[in-house]
Amino acid sequence: MREIFLRVRGDDPASLVRAAACCWSWRGIMSHPQFAHDYRKFHGAAPVLGFLYNNHHMTTHIDVRGQRRWYSSHFVSTATFRPPACRDRRKWRVLDSRHGLALFDTPKSHEDFLVYDLLTGEHWEIHADPKCHYFMWWPDDDDDLHACLRCNATLLCAKDRCDHLDCHGGPFRVAFVGCDYTGRAAHAAVYSSETRQWTDVTSVEHEHYIHYTGHSAVVGDKAITLMGVEDGMPLFVSVVKPRLLLWSLETGPGGAARWTRHRVIELKSLLPTPVLLDNSGVTPVGFAEGVGVIFLSTKAGLYTIELSSRRSKKVHGMQSIEKAIPYMSFYTGEWGPLLASDEASPAVGGGTTI
Protein backbone atom coordinates (compact mmCIF):
# COMPACT_ATOMS: atom_id res chain seq x y z
CA MET A 1 0.00 0.00 0.00
CA ARG A 2 2.89 2.36 0.71
CA GLU A 3 4.19 1.88 -2.83
CA ILE A 4 0.71 2.63 -4.19
CA PHE A 5 0.40 5.80 -2.09
CA LEU A 6 3.81 6.98 -3.30
CA ARG A 7 2.48 6.86 -6.86
CA VAL A 8 -0.61 9.01 -6.31
CA ARG A 9 -0.34 12.05 -8.59
CA GLY A 10 1.10 15.15 -6.98
CA ASP A 11 -1.74 17.34 -8.24
CA ASP A 12 -4.35 15.11 -6.57
CA PRO A 13 -3.57 15.36 -2.83
CA ALA A 14 -7.25 14.91 -1.94
CA SER A 15 -6.89 11.21 -2.82
CA LEU A 16 -4.30 10.83 -0.07
CA VAL A 17 -6.58 12.62 2.38
CA ARG A 18 -9.42 10.22 1.57
CA ALA A 19 -7.10 7.21 1.83
CA ALA A 20 -5.81 8.37 5.21
CA ALA A 21 -9.39 8.57 6.46
CA CYS A 22 -10.11 4.94 5.56
CA CYS A 23 -8.20 3.23 8.38
CA TRP A 24 -5.57 3.85 11.01
CA SER A 25 -2.90 1.68 9.33
CA TRP A 26 -3.09 3.68 6.07
CA ARG A 27 -3.04 6.90 8.04
CA GLY A 28 0.04 5.63 9.89
CA ILE A 29 1.83 4.95 6.59
CA MET A 30 1.29 8.47 5.31
CA SER A 31 2.02 10.23 8.61
CA HIS A 32 5.40 8.51 8.98
CA PRO A 33 8.21 11.11 8.83
CA GLN A 34 9.91 9.32 5.94
CA PHE A 35 6.82 9.19 3.69
CA ALA A 36 6.84 12.86 2.67
CA HIS A 37 10.55 12.69 1.81
CA ASP A 38 10.16 9.52 -0.26
CA TYR A 39 7.09 10.93 -2.02
CA ARG A 40 9.00 14.05 -3.04
CA LYS A 41 11.98 11.94 -4.12
CA PHE A 42 9.70 9.84 -6.33
CA HIS A 43 7.82 12.76 -7.89
CA GLY A 44 10.46 15.50 -7.79
CA ALA A 45 9.24 18.98 -6.98
CA ALA A 46 6.30 19.54 -4.66
CA PRO A 47 2.91 19.79 -6.38
CA VAL A 48 1.35 23.15 -7.22
CA LEU A 49 -1.64 23.48 -4.89
CA GLY A 50 -2.64 26.90 -6.20
CA PHE A 51 -1.37 30.42 -6.58
CA LEU A 52 -1.46 33.71 -4.72
CA TYR A 53 -2.02 37.13 -6.22
CA ASN A 54 -2.63 40.70 -5.07
CA ASN A 55 -5.39 43.15 -5.79
CA HIS A 56 -4.98 46.87 -5.21
CA HIS A 57 -7.88 49.03 -4.06
CA MET A 58 -8.53 52.72 -3.59
CA THR A 59 -10.11 54.06 -0.41
CA THR A 60 -13.69 55.26 -0.74
CA HIS A 61 -13.07 58.34 1.39
CA ILE A 62 -10.81 61.20 0.32
CA ASP A 63 -8.51 63.05 2.70
CA VAL A 64 -6.13 65.96 2.12
CA ARG A 65 -3.90 63.71 0.00
CA GLY A 66 -6.74 62.31 -2.09
CA GLN A 67 -7.62 58.64 -2.36
CA ARG A 68 -5.23 56.11 -0.82
CA ARG A 69 -4.17 52.73 -2.24
CA TRP A 70 -4.22 49.50 -0.27
CA TYR A 71 -3.73 45.83 -1.15
CA SER A 72 -5.42 42.51 -0.48
CA SER A 73 -3.96 39.06 -1.13
CA HIS A 74 -5.92 36.11 -2.49
CA PHE A 75 -5.40 32.37 -2.94
CA VAL A 76 -6.82 30.31 -5.82
CA SER A 77 -6.68 26.51 -5.59
CA THR A 78 -5.62 24.60 -8.71
CA ALA A 79 -5.46 21.13 -7.13
CA THR A 80 -8.04 18.81 -5.58
CA PHE A 81 -7.23 19.99 -2.06
CA ARG A 82 -7.29 23.51 -0.65
CA PRO A 83 -4.69 24.23 2.08
CA PRO A 84 -6.52 24.97 5.36
CA ALA A 85 -4.82 28.30 6.06
CA CYS A 86 -5.46 29.74 2.59
CA ARG A 87 -7.91 32.61 2.58
CA ASP A 88 -8.26 36.16 1.34
CA ARG A 89 -6.31 38.60 3.50
CA ARG A 90 -7.35 42.22 3.60
CA LYS A 91 -4.52 44.77 3.67
CA TRP A 92 -1.88 42.07 3.21
CA ARG A 93 0.33 41.77 0.13
CA VAL A 94 2.00 38.51 -0.85
CA LEU A 95 5.64 38.95 -1.89
CA ASP A 96 6.96 35.43 -2.47
CA SER A 97 6.35 31.73 -1.84
CA ARG A 98 8.89 28.90 -1.64
CA HIS A 99 9.36 25.65 0.26
CA GLY A 100 5.74 25.60 1.44
CA LEU A 101 5.98 29.08 2.95
CA ALA A 102 4.46 32.37 1.85
CA LEU A 103 5.89 35.82 2.62
CA PHE A 104 3.46 38.68 3.23
CA ASP A 105 3.86 42.42 3.62
CA THR A 106 1.52 43.34 6.50
CA PRO A 107 1.61 47.15 6.79
CA LYS A 108 -1.42 47.49 9.06
CA SER A 109 -0.21 44.95 11.66
CA HIS A 110 2.23 45.38 14.52
CA GLU A 111 4.81 43.34 12.58
CA ASP A 112 6.21 44.43 9.21
CA PHE A 113 6.26 41.04 7.48
CA LEU A 114 4.79 37.60 8.12
CA VAL A 115 6.00 34.20 6.88
CA TYR A 116 3.10 31.76 6.77
CA ASP A 117 2.87 27.99 6.31
CA LEU A 118 -0.45 27.71 4.50
CA LEU A 119 -0.75 24.00 5.28
CA THR A 120 -0.14 23.94 9.02
CA GLY A 121 -1.05 27.53 9.90
CA GLU A 122 2.33 28.15 11.53
CA HIS A 123 3.60 31.69 11.09
CA TRP A 124 6.59 33.81 12.00
CA GLU A 125 6.64 37.56 12.53
CA ILE A 126 9.43 39.70 11.10
CA HIS A 127 10.15 43.23 12.29
CA ALA A 128 12.23 45.26 9.87
CA ASP A 129 15.57 46.53 11.09
CA PRO A 130 15.45 50.36 11.19
CA LYS A 131 18.69 50.48 9.21
CA CYS A 132 16.77 48.96 6.24
CA HIS A 133 13.87 51.42 6.21
CA TYR A 134 15.45 53.84 3.76
CA PHE A 135 15.40 51.33 0.88
CA MET A 136 12.25 49.43 1.92
CA TRP A 137 9.92 52.41 2.25
CA TRP A 138 10.73 55.71 0.62
CA PRO A 139 10.32 58.78 2.85
CA ASP A 140 8.45 60.82 0.24
CA ASP A 141 5.71 58.24 -0.40
CA ASP A 142 2.23 59.72 -0.65
CA ASP A 143 0.93 56.81 1.40
CA ASP A 144 1.47 56.21 5.10
CA LEU A 145 4.81 54.77 6.17
CA HIS A 146 4.90 51.02 5.39
CA ALA A 147 1.82 51.36 3.14
CA CYS A 148 3.82 50.90 -0.06
CA LEU A 149 6.84 48.62 0.00
CA ARG A 150 9.55 49.70 -2.45
CA CYS A 151 11.80 46.62 -2.52
CA ASN A 152 11.76 43.01 -3.68
CA ALA A 153 11.92 40.08 -1.26
CA THR A 154 12.37 36.33 -1.54
CA LEU A 155 12.28 33.32 0.78
CA LEU A 156 15.31 31.01 1.02
CA CYS A 157 15.71 27.65 2.75
CA ALA A 158 18.34 27.83 5.49
CA LYS A 159 18.45 24.13 6.38
CA ASP A 160 22.02 22.83 6.27
CA ARG A 161 22.75 20.65 3.22
CA CYS A 162 19.06 20.52 2.37
CA ASP A 163 17.98 18.70 -0.81
CA HIS A 164 14.62 20.53 -0.58
CA LEU A 165 12.73 17.24 -0.64
CA ASP A 166 11.59 17.60 2.96
CA CYS A 167 12.60 21.03 4.26
CA HIS A 168 9.08 21.68 5.52
CA GLY A 169 9.15 23.61 8.78
CA GLY A 170 12.90 24.15 8.63
CA PRO A 171 14.74 27.42 9.20
CA PHE A 172 14.54 30.08 6.50
CA ARG A 173 16.05 33.37 5.41
CA VAL A 174 14.39 36.32 3.72
CA ALA A 175 16.47 38.44 1.34
CA PHE A 176 15.38 42.03 0.64
CA VAL A 177 16.77 44.00 -2.31
CA GLY A 178 15.87 47.56 -3.30
CA CYS A 179 17.18 51.04 -3.98
CA ASP A 180 16.80 54.35 -2.21
CA TYR A 181 14.68 57.13 -3.70
CA THR A 182 17.70 58.72 -5.41
CA GLY A 183 18.13 55.61 -7.57
CA ARG A 184 21.90 55.81 -7.29
CA ALA A 185 22.55 52.58 -5.39
CA ALA A 186 21.10 49.12 -4.77
CA HIS A 187 20.88 47.80 -1.22
CA ALA A 188 20.33 44.34 0.24
CA ALA A 189 19.89 42.77 3.66
CA VAL A 190 18.96 39.27 4.87
CA TYR A 191 16.84 38.18 7.83
CA SER A 192 17.49 34.80 9.54
CA SER A 193 14.73 32.88 11.34
CA GLU A 194 17.37 31.00 13.34
CA THR A 195 18.99 34.04 14.92
CA ARG A 196 16.09 36.46 14.43
CA GLN A 197 18.72 38.96 13.36
CA TRP A 198 19.44 41.00 10.24
CA THR A 199 22.70 41.13 8.37
CA ASP A 200 24.38 44.45 7.69
CA VAL A 201 23.13 46.27 4.60
CA THR A 202 25.22 45.65 1.48
CA SER A 203 25.20 48.46 -1.11
CA VAL A 204 26.35 48.69 -4.73
CA GLU A 205 26.33 51.87 -6.81
CA HIS A 206 24.40 51.71 -10.07
CA GLU A 207 22.41 53.97 -12.37
CA HIS A 208 18.98 52.35 -12.47
CA TYR A 209 16.05 51.73 -10.16
CA ILE A 210 15.18 48.24 -9.01
CA HIS A 211 11.51 47.85 -9.84
CA TYR A 212 9.63 46.42 -6.90
CA THR A 213 6.80 44.69 -8.80
CA GLY A 214 8.64 42.43 -11.23
CA HIS A 215 11.82 41.41 -13.00
CA SER A 216 12.85 42.03 -16.60
CA ALA A 217 15.82 42.02 -18.95
CA VAL A 218 16.53 43.07 -22.53
CA VAL A 219 17.56 40.84 -25.43
CA GLY A 220 18.35 42.99 -28.46
CA ASP A 221 15.44 45.42 -28.64
CA LYS A 222 12.90 43.18 -26.89
CA ALA A 223 11.96 43.25 -23.21
CA ILE A 224 11.67 39.83 -21.61
CA THR A 225 10.47 38.69 -18.20
CA LEU A 226 12.51 36.76 -15.65
CA MET A 227 10.39 33.78 -14.61
CA GLY A 228 12.68 31.77 -12.34
CA VAL A 229 15.26 29.00 -12.62
CA GLU A 230 15.16 25.90 -14.81
CA ASP A 231 17.98 23.33 -14.87
CA GLY A 232 20.07 25.65 -12.73
CA MET A 233 19.88 28.56 -15.18
CA PRO A 234 17.81 31.77 -15.07
CA LEU A 235 14.74 31.39 -17.28
CA PHE A 236 13.38 34.38 -19.21
CA VAL A 237 10.18 34.42 -21.24
CA SER A 238 8.82 36.68 -23.96
CA VAL A 239 5.62 36.48 -25.99
CA VAL A 240 5.69 37.21 -29.70
CA LYS A 241 2.20 36.16 -30.75
CA PRO A 242 1.39 33.47 -31.44
CA ARG A 243 4.56 32.08 -29.84
CA LEU A 244 6.02 31.80 -26.37
CA LEU A 245 9.81 32.20 -26.44
CA LEU A 246 11.98 30.84 -23.62
CA TRP A 247 15.48 32.24 -23.11
CA SER A 248 18.31 31.34 -20.78
CA LEU A 249 21.52 33.13 -19.85
CA GLU A 250 24.31 30.65 -20.34
CA THR A 251 28.07 30.75 -19.97
CA GLY A 252 29.95 30.48 -23.23
CA PRO A 253 33.63 29.93 -24.09
CA GLY A 254 35.95 31.95 -21.90
CA GLY A 255 33.28 32.48 -19.27
CA ALA A 256 31.33 35.07 -21.29
CA ALA A 257 27.57 35.11 -20.69
CA ARG A 258 25.27 34.88 -23.69
CA TRP A 259 21.53 34.71 -24.36
CA THR A 260 20.23 31.44 -25.79
CA ARG A 261 16.70 30.84 -27.06
CA HIS A 262 16.24 27.20 -26.22
CA ARG A 263 12.49 26.65 -26.64
CA VAL A 264 9.60 27.94 -28.72
CA ILE A 265 5.99 27.07 -27.86
CA GLU A 266 3.19 27.67 -30.34
CA LEU A 267 0.18 29.21 -28.61
CA LYS A 268 -2.41 28.72 -31.35
CA SER A 269 -3.58 25.37 -30.00
CA LEU A 270 -3.19 26.34 -26.34
CA LEU A 271 -5.11 29.61 -26.02
CA PRO A 272 -8.46 30.76 -27.42
CA THR A 273 -8.27 32.59 -30.74
CA PRO A 274 -9.78 35.85 -29.33
CA VAL A 275 -6.95 35.95 -26.80
CA LEU A 276 -4.31 35.77 -29.53
CA LEU A 277 -6.07 38.43 -31.58
CA ASP A 278 -6.38 40.82 -28.64
CA ASN A 279 -4.04 43.78 -29.07
CA SER A 280 -3.42 43.94 -25.31
CA GLY A 281 -1.52 40.68 -25.68
CA VAL A 282 -0.49 37.80 -23.46
CA THR A 283 1.73 38.49 -20.46
CA PRO A 284 3.83 35.95 -18.50
CA VAL A 285 3.17 36.60 -14.80
CA GLY A 286 4.44 33.54 -12.93
CA PHE A 287 6.45 30.33 -13.06
CA ALA A 288 6.38 27.19 -10.90
CA GLU A 289 9.99 26.08 -10.61
CA GLY A 290 10.68 22.36 -10.68
CA VAL A 291 7.45 21.45 -12.46
CA GLY A 292 7.79 23.79 -15.44
CA VAL A 293 4.43 25.57 -15.34
CA ILE A 294 4.11 29.11 -16.73
CA PHE A 295 1.23 31.44 -15.82
CA LEU A 296 -0.05 33.70 -18.60
CA SER A 297 -2.36 36.65 -17.98
CA THR A 298 -4.83 37.56 -20.73
CA LYS A 299 -8.03 39.55 -21.17
CA ALA A 300 -9.89 36.23 -21.03
CA GLY A 301 -8.37 35.21 -17.70
CA LEU A 302 -5.31 33.46 -16.32
CA TYR A 303 -3.93 30.36 -18.04
CA THR A 304 -1.22 27.83 -17.14
CA ILE A 305 0.98 26.06 -19.68
CA GLU A 306 2.98 22.94 -18.79
CA LEU A 307 6.28 23.12 -20.63
CA SER A 308 6.78 19.34 -20.74
CA SER A 309 3.33 18.26 -21.95
CA ARG A 310 2.38 21.53 -23.73
CA ARG A 311 -1.03 21.37 -22.01
CA SER A 312 -2.90 24.54 -21.12
CA LYS A 313 -5.60 25.20 -18.53
CA LYS A 314 -7.66 28.22 -17.56
CA VAL A 315 -7.25 28.61 -13.79
CA HIS A 316 -8.93 31.98 -13.12
CA GLY A 317 -11.33 34.30 -14.87
CA MET A 318 -9.86 37.56 -13.57
CA GLN A 319 -8.35 39.80 -16.21
CA SER A 320 -4.86 41.28 -16.10
CA ILE A 321 -3.36 39.69 -12.99
CA GLU A 322 0.01 41.41 -12.58
CA LYS A 323 1.79 38.59 -10.74
CA ALA A 324 0.83 34.98 -9.94
CA ILE A 325 2.89 33.38 -7.18
CA PRO A 326 2.62 29.56 -7.22
CA TYR A 327 2.15 27.83 -3.87
CA MET A 328 3.90 24.44 -3.88
CA SER A 329 3.95 22.13 -0.88
CA PHE A 330 3.58 18.55 0.30
CA TYR A 331 3.38 17.61 3.97
CA THR A 332 1.80 14.73 5.91
CA GLY A 333 3.50 15.10 9.30
CA GLU A 334 0.67 17.11 10.86
CA TRP A 335 -1.13 13.87 11.66
CA GLY A 336 1.70 12.84 13.95
CA PRO A 337 2.84 9.26 14.68
CA LEU A 338 -0.04 6.77 14.80
CA LEU A 339 -0.36 3.20 16.04
CA ALA A 340 -1.29 0.28 13.84
CA SER A 341 -5.01 -0.23 13.25
CA ASP A 342 -5.31 -3.01 15.80
CA GLU A 343 -3.67 -0.84 18.48
CA ALA A 344 -5.25 2.51 17.71
CA SER A 345 -8.17 4.16 19.38
CA PRO A 346 -10.34 7.05 18.18
CA ALA A 347 -8.47 9.35 20.57
CA VAL A 348 -5.15 8.86 18.78
CA GLY A 349 -3.93 11.42 16.25
CA GLY A 350 -5.30 14.77 15.27
CA GLY A 351 -5.54 17.19 12.40
CA THR A 352 -6.18 16.49 8.77
CA THR A 353 -3.47 18.52 7.08
CA ILE A 354 -1.66 17.06 4.11
**Residue 175 has what pLDDT?**
94
What pLDDT, in 10s, does the model give residues 252-289? 777 777 778 878 999 998 998 888 887 667 889 999 98
Distance CA 296, CA 321 (A): 9
Does residue 347 come out as left (phi exceeding 0), alpha (psi in the -120 to 50 range) or beta? alpha
The answer to whether 287 touches 244, Cβ cutoff 8 Å, is: no
**Residue 247 has what pLDDT?**
86
**Residue 12 has what pLDDT?**
75
CA dihedral 265, 238, 288, 217 (to 10 degrees): 150
* Predicted confidence pLDDT, tens digits, the chain (354 residues): 999 999 988 777 778 888 888 888 998 898 887 888 888 888 888 888 899 999 877 655 555 555 566 788 999 988 877 777 777 888 889 999 988 899 999 887 788 999 999 888 889 999 999 999 888 887 654 444 444 778 889 999 898 888 777 777 779 999 999 888 777 888 999 999 999 999 999 999 876 667 666 655 555 555 778 787 777 778 888 888 788 888 887 777 777 777 788 789 999 989 988 888 876 678 899 999 888 899 999 988 999 999 888 999 999 988 778 899 999 887 766 544 433 333 333 333 333 333
**Residue 172 has what pLDDT?**
93
Question: SS3 for 13?
Answer: helix
**Residue 344 has what pLDDT?**
35
Distance CA 144, CA 140 (A): 10
Distance CA 218, CA 220 (A): 6
